[in-house]
A and B are shown apart, each in its own frame.
Chain A
Amino acid sequence: MENPGFLNSPLDLAGNRTARGKALVVDDESTSLLVLKSLLEKQGFFAIPARNGEEAVAVFEREAPDIVFVDIVMPGISGYETVRRIKTLAGDRFVPAIFLTGLTEEHSLAKCIEAGGDDFLTKPVSVVLLQAKIAAAERIAHLYRTVQRQHHQLLFEQELAKQVYAKTVQANRADPGEIYSLQRSASVFSGDLLLAGRSPSGALHVLIGDFTGHGLAAAIGALPAAEVFRGMTGKGFTAAEILTEINRKLRALLPTGMFLAAVFVSLSQDGRSVRIWNSGLPDVFILDRDTGRVKNRLSSCSVPLGILPSLGPMDLSLFEVNSGDQVVVITDGIVEALDSKGELFGEGRVMACLESGGSETVFSRLVAGLEEFTAGASQEDDITLAVIPCRAERPWLLPVDSFSLVESHEAVAEEEVQAVPDLDSEKFDWQWEVELGFAVLRRIDAVPLLVDTVVDLQDLQEHRQFLFTILSELLNNALDHGLLDLDSRIKDSPEGFVRYFQERQERLARLREGYILVGFAVKTEDDHGRLHIRVEDSGPGFDFENWTPAFNDGPVYSGRGIGLVQGLCESLHYEGMGNIARAVYLW
């Protein structure tokens, strides 16, 4: 290894840089001062003498030497105090301070170290020892500089990572005001994750996660998880499908021992039902808007994400909620927050804050309760709290607003009244037909895949949400009523809603026959075009000729229904036994 020397090597009289830098020698006694100064010069140093502590401090400020030799016993301020002051002045710069002691003074070595000294040298000064001590000091200075450089590099990289992290993870929030959240990290990066987004169906997806550990190591898994969440939520995948994919991805990416405890909350577009999955986080609470009490709670029902190859059957717990109810999700950091005496915040205090009532919001009460409790204590773990108010969103997806859409589409339709084309007989830009057998229908929700393909084929990104709504209504009708023979009137009562979905789940699991045929065809003209959608199921059909779809068809529990599809499409017709639906979407 090359001799690293000191950085601050000054110019000598001949204008050459002296090899090793500046040395400050402090001794009140002339002979010792002369001996050491001379020896240092022979070692290639530019040596600056000082006769006492005050002078040494002044020289240090002016000359910024690289190494300092200080006699302990001096008039005025002692050698210890001199080194203390010099070390303070040096700040971040490492300046080795070497004390000069008599042979009989080794008992004061502890004091030397305490004062910030790095080494000591006994009188009479031996050249061999002096050389060794300088070499050791230079090695430490070199290490120190390396560490400093790497530290700066690390800070730079952290800053870079922070920006990527902020863009990927934090830019992923739903509109402000949709959820109330508090995130406090124990270091620069949070190992806690809070993601929210709207599905094209209008459902609000919220993922609250807690990676093992905290800091950058924990935050690293947040990037792939956020990407999957954002991509799949935007394309309309279900909570179960998103969780399955996040689990798969984290398992492939994360090292052993690192995983994600998470809660997934999916609030339906109408704000009437919520599906929750809890794998490893504290209990999730649903607060009743009227009583202010916890009306449901959901404990962890699965191992955290990123551990098992498969999460098994993904039945998210379904809860009926009212507008104004609130879903409260917290991470371990809250339950395990410590006060200044080392006591845990605990679930009891969480519950007490939630149910304490008063004019403050649930969110404010919990935040205030936590802050009061942890005042004066240091934060050990990342903290995340999310309060999700249950309410309907996306007014444009609600039946009442779809009238305006209908009007604009009708205007176009009147101009270009035309017969419903047969998919086979007209020249289209492209056609695509796919048969979904019962085995596929049982396993996945095909709507996101179909919408994705169509949107990509025709570059209809701006129409994704409309197409998603249309296709999910048509496919769900074909599946629910055509193949599963469910009666949507079950949904007409508040209790029926949950029953309907349980029944659907059971019948779907038992499905052993049937198929749904989905066909698409596109014809474009100038700057507009038509997408023809044909959905045929193998079921018995229904008496469509005596059935009138209505926008506001009774209780809201039966959903937006087919009325909305009519509103979004140029036309909607039933054919055959009522088992074939044809829709035309105009853009």
Chain B
Amino acid sequence: MTASPQHDNTNEIFDREGLSERLVNDGDLVAEVIETFLRDIPHCFAQLEEAIAGGDWAEALRESHSIKGAAANVGANLLRHAALSMERALRGGDRLEVTAALEGMKQRFHELRRQMEKGGF
């Protein structure tokens, strides 16, 4: 088996092709993964926001890390970068940067959801 070229277009909101390739072009599985993602991530966002509001930086870091991993797995490249910015902001400890990063993440997720749903399933 030859390696597929790695799709890592950092400007892509949703790399559907890359995801499909990683899931060996199993359309049902792609749909299931997207569905799981869209159902699960809002919970993660809710917990992230709660942690930030409560000043629990460690918990916030863990949540943004989870979102980053999930985003990587589904090919949500811009959300992954936004989550990474959040991790840096949390480590820096600057509340303004954290608030800005949270807005960025929400924005990216909003766009992502639109694109994912556009693909239809």
With most chain A CB atoms within 10 A of its CB, the pick from B62, B72, B75, B84 is: B72
Do the beta carbons of B36 and A42 come within 8 Å of each other?
A: no
Partner of A31, one of B1, B24, B26, B40: B40
Given A38-B29, A73-B62 in contact, is the A31-B4 Cβ separation under 8 Å? no
Q: Which residues of A contact B62 (CB under 8 A)?
A: 73, 75
Do the beta carbons of B69 and A128 come within 8 Å of each other?
A: no
Do the beta carbons of B24 and A125 come within 8 Å of each other?
A: no
Do the beta carbons of B65 and A126 come within 8 Å of each other?
A: no
7 nearest A-B pairs in the assembled complex, by CB-CB distance = A31-B70, A30-B40, A29-B66, A123-B72, A31-B37, A124-B72, A128-B3
Q: Which residues of B contact A124 (CB under 8 A)?
A: 18-19, 22, 72-75
A32–B44 CA distance with the chains assembled, in angstroms = 13
Do the beta carbons of B22 and A125 come within 8 Å of each other?
A: yes
Q: Which residues of B contact A308 (CB under 8 A)?
A: none
Q: Which residues of A contact B36 (CB under 8 A)?
A: 30-31, 34
- Let me know if B11 is at the binding interface, CB within 8 A: no
Do the beta carbons of B1 and A28 come within 8 Å of each other?
A: no
Do the beta carbons of B66 and A73 come within 8 Å of each other?
A: yes
- Using an 8 Å CB-CB cutoff, how does the interface string of B6-41 with A read, 1 for contact, 0 for none? 100000000000110011101001001100110111
Q: Which residues of A contact B23 (CB under 8 A)?
A: 35, 38-39
Q: Which residues of A contact B70 (CB under 8 A)?
A: 29-32
A126–B40 CA distance with the chains assembled, in angstroms = 22
* A to B contact number (C-beta, < 8 Å): 75
A103–B81 CA distance with the chains assembled, in angstroms = 12
Residue on A nearest B15 in the bound complex, by CB:
A124
User: Which A residues have a C-beta under 8 Å from some C-beta of B?
Assistant: 27-32, 34-35, 38-39, 42, 71, 73, 75, 100, 102-104, 123-128, 131
Do the beta carbons of B73 and A123 come within 8 Å of each other?
A: yes
Do the beta carbons of B40 and A127 come within 8 Å of each other?
A: no
- Using an 8 Å CB-CB cutoff, how does the interface string of B61-97 with A read, 1 for contact, 0 for none? 0100111111011110000000010000000000000
Q: Which residues of A contact B6 (CB under 8 A)?
A: 126
Q: Which residues of B contact A127 (CB under 8 A)?
A: 22, 24
Residue on A nearest B67 in the bound complex, by CB:
A29
Q: How far is the CB of B74 from chain A (nearest CB, A)?
A: 6
Residue on A nearest B7 in the bound complex, by CB:
A124
Do the beta carbons of B40 and A102 come within 8 Å of each other?
A: no
Q: How far is the CB of A279 from chain B (nearest CB, A)?
A: 67
Q: List 13 A-B contacts (CB under 8 A).
A: A29-B67, A30-B36, A35-B22, A38-B29, A73-B62, A73-B66, A102-B65, A104-B84, A123-B69, A124-B19, A124-B75, A126-B6, A128-B4
Given A38-B23, A124-B22, A126-B22 in contact, is the A31-B65 Cβ separation under 8 Å? no
A27–B72 CA distance with the chains assembled, in angstroms = 14
Q: Which residues of B contact A102 (CB under 8 A)?
A: 65, 68-69, 72
A32–B74 CA distance with the chains assembled, in angstroms = 8
Q: How far is the CB of B59 from chain A (nearest CB, A)?
A: 8
Given A34-B33, A102-B69, A123-B72 in contact, is the A29-B40 Cβ separation under 8 Å? yes
Q: Which residues of B contact A42 (CB under 8 A)?
A: 24, 26
A17–B64 CA distance with the chains assembled, in angstroms = 40
Do the beta carbons of A32 and B4 come within 8 Å of each other?
A: no
New A-B contacts (17) at CB < 8 Å, excluding given A29-B66, A75-B62, A103-B72: A29-B67, A30-B36, A31-B33, A31-B40, A31-B73, A32-B69, A34-B33, A38-B29, A39-B23, A39-B24, A102-B68, A124-B18, A124-B72, A124-B74, A126-B3, A126-B6, A126-B22
Q: Which residues of A contact B1 (CB under 8 A)?
A: 128, 131
Q: How far is the CB of B31 from chain A (nearest CB, A)?
A: 11
A102–B81 CA distance with the chains assembled, in angstroms = 12
Do the beta carbons of B69 and A29 come within 8 Å of each other?
A: yes
Residue on B nearest A105 in the bound complex, by CB:
B65
Do the beta carbons of A32 and B73 come within 8 Å of each other?
A: yes
Given A34-B32, A124-B75 in contact, is the A28-B66 Cβ separation under 8 Å? yes
Q: Which residues of B contact A131 (CB under 8 A)?
A: 1
- Using an 8 Å CB-CB cutoff, how does the interface string of B33-64 with A read, 1 for contact, 0 for none? 10011011100100000000000000000100
Given A29-B66, A131-B1 in contact, is the A35-B24 Cβ separation under 8 Å? no
A124–B71 CA distance with the chains assembled, in angstroms = 8
A125–B70 CA distance with the chains assembled, in angstroms = 11
Do the beta carbons of A125 and B66 come within 8 Å of each other?
A: no
Q: Which residues of A contact B84 (CB under 8 A)?
A: 104
Q: Which residues of B contact A34 (CB under 8 A)?
A: 32-33, 36
Residue on A nearest B40 in the bound complex, by CB:
A30
Q: Which residues of B contact A32 (CB under 8 A)?
A: 69-70, 73
